[in-house]
Structure 1
Amino acid sequence: MLKTDEKAGLQKKDRMIDTCIALFGQKGFRETSIQDIVEANGMTKGTFYYYFKSKEDVLVYIHDTFISELLMKQQKIIQNDDWSYKDKLYAIVEMIISNIAEGVDSAMVFFREIRHLSEKKTNEILPKRDLFQKNIEQVIEEGIEKGEFRTGLRADMLSYAILGIVNWSYFWYEPGGEVKEKELTEIYMNMILKGLEEG
């Protein structure tokens, strides 16, 4: 069990991360200063540097946490042997949309702010992002092999296309608005499956 001071430390770090996500999402990474972060938390810069070496390290942490959670959920979907490959693809699309709806600022930071990372830090993040895409590619390839999707398709290009369509929802989708998550998933999947199933 964690000691009281350890719990307090984790709570303080989590609160700082939440503040960073909100500020990066609203103002942008470059426009947010460390002073903005500590003032919003009522902390000192010393407290910030106790947990992170730099603002960039915070961005890496946010990216890694976001994609790790997505990968965990994606793996559970893929490993469900009771689902068809159409079902798995549907569930992955729905999961991404739900993730965006539940954390708009987190999604915005993840998709928009990666351009501010150095090449070294970007290379730390990309393998997990690439794995997420490769898993979708694999679902499509296996769906083709099982006859659920038509032959002659480029699974790699289709996986990028699906991610491009779904991920961009962070920019305009309004949770609680007229279009619900389930309806948006249906709209996307009707379009995607039409391409996968019809020649």
Structure 2
Amino acid sequence: MHDLKKNSKKPEVRRQELIDAASALFAEKGYEAVSVRDILNVVNGAPGMFYYYFKSKQDIYLASMEQYIAKRLKRKCRILEDEAVSFEEKLPIFRSMVEEDIQGYMENFAPRCDASISDTSYKLYDLVHMLDCMVVPYSRFIL
């Protein structure tokens, strides 16, 4: 009898691994040039594993962008809502975070002149969605 040790990861770890791989590939190649197989090759996975977590390539793309936006928004909100720090102290920090996020977006997600229409439309959606998520916290801070 063989003593086989199962080498599996927790579902949340595996899902995150897929998102990380997809995020890197989307940033490098654009949405159109990435396939589900490309993502699976990075994580050494099978199609069934991918479809257990995501319905489609579009689904993992949206999860990737949601995570990108959420991380940045959470970081800003933590600083903006800190009542121990005065508005005057927060303002330059907030400004540098906004500049950093815009620069990061442009480096990773800005449409390229050789991008397809769908790549460009996804990136435009991402930018609009990111701005939409930031309206309420930014408004509270400014007001």
TM class by shorter chain equals 0.5 to 0.7
- Whole-Å separation in 2 of the counterparts to 1:21 and 1:100: 17
Alpha-carbon contact 1:19-1:41 (below 8 Å) kept: yes
Alpha-carbon contact 1:34-1:55 (below 8 Å) kept: yes
Alpha-carbon contact 1:88-1:139 (below 8 Å) kept: no
- Whole-Å separation in 1 of the counterparts to 2:71 and 2:120: 17
Which residue in the other structure is 2:108 paired with? 108
- The unaligned stretches of length 5 or more in structure 1 are 143-199
Q: The residue matched to 1:83 in structure 2 has which SS?
A: coil
Deviation at 1:24, TM superposition (A): 0.5
Q: The residue matched to 2:82 in structure 1 has which SS?
A: coil
Q: The residue matched to 1:31 in structure 2 has which SS?
A: coil
1:50 aligns with 2:52: yes
Which residue in the other structure is 1:85 paired with? 87
- The unaligned stretches of length 5 or more in structure 2 are 1-5, 112-118
* Runs of 4+ more than 6 Å apart: none
Which residue in the other structure is 1:192 paired with? none
TM-score of the aligned structures, taking structure 1 as reference length = 0.51
Q: What's the % identity of the aligned pairs?
A: 24
Deviation at 1:116, TM superposition (A): 2.2
What are the residue-to-residue correspondences of 1:44-193 with 2, within 5 Å? 44-96=46-98, 108-109=108-109, 115-116=121-122, 126=129, 129-140=131-142, 142=143
- Whole-Å separation in 2 of the counterparts to 1:114 and 1:8: 35
Q: How many residues are treated as equivalent by the alignment? A: 128
Deviation at 1:15, TM superposition (A): 1.4
Alignment RMSD, CA only? Answer: 3.4
Q: The residue matched to 1:76 in structure 2 has which SS?
A: helix
TM-score of the aligned structures, taking structure 2 as reference length = 0.68
